[in-house]
Chains A and B, each alone.
Chain A
Amino acid sequence: MTEILVLVDHLDGEVKKVTFELLTLARRFGDAAAVWIGPGYEGAKDKLAEYGAAKVYVAADEELTSYVVAPKAEVLAQLVSEKSPAAVLVSATAEGKEVAGRLAIKIDSGVLTDVVDVAEGFVGEHSIFGGAIIAQAKVRSGTPIIAVRPNAVAVEAAPSSPAEEQVSVALTDAAKSAKVVEKVVQEKGERPDLTEAAIVVSGGRGVGGAENFSIIEGLADSLGAAVGASRAATDAGWYPHQFQVGQTGKTVSPQLYIAVGISGAIQHRAGMQTSKTIVAINKDAEAPIFELVDYGVVGDLFQVAPQLTEEVNKRK
Chain B
Amino acid sequence: MNIVVCVKQVPDTESPRKLKSDDKTLDRGAADGVINELDEYAIEEALSIKEAHGGEVTVLTMGPDKALDSIRKALAMGVDKAVHLVDDALTGSDALQTSYAIQQVLAKTGFDVVILGSESTDARTGVLAAMLAERLGVPQLSQAKKVEIDGSAIAIQRQTDYGYDRVEAALPAVVSVVEKINEPRYPSFKGIMAAKKKPVEVLSAAAAGIDTAKVGLANAATEVIEFAEAPPREQGQIVKDEGDGGVKLAEFLAAKKFV
Contacts and interface: CB of A to CB of B under 8 A. Distances in A.
Contact of A306 (B142, B246, B248): B246
B197 interface: no
Most buried by B among A104, A129, A136, A194: A129
Contact of A234 (B169, B180, B226): B180
B121 A247 contact: yes
Q: How large is the interface on A (under 10, 10 to 19, 20 to 34, 35 or more residues)?
A: 35 or more
Contacts, number: 296
B236 A137 contact: no
Nearest to B14: A266
What size tier do the contact residues of chain B reach? 35 or more
Contacts of B165: 68, 180, 182-184
Contact of B166 (A93, A180, A223, A249): A180
B142 A11 contact: no
A297 interface: yes
A256 interface: yes
Contacts of A308: 245-247, 249-250
Which of A101, A186, A304 has the most chain B CB atoms inside 10 A of its CB? Answer: A101
A315 B130 CA distance: 48
B121 A285 contact: no
A177 B139 contact: yes
B141 interface: yes
B258 A184 contact: no
Interface of A: 11, 68-70, 73, 93-95, 97-102, 104-106, 108-114, 123, 127-142, 174, 177-186, 188, 193-195, 199, 223, 231, 234-235, 241-242, 244, 247-249, 251, 255-256, 266-267, 270, 273, 277-279, 281, 285, 290-300, 303-312, 315-316
Given A248-B121, A299-B245, 12 more contacts: A101-B95, A105-B135, A111-B96, A133-B228, A183-B162, A186-B162, A231-B179, A267-B13, A293-B238, A295-B249, A297-B240, A298-B241
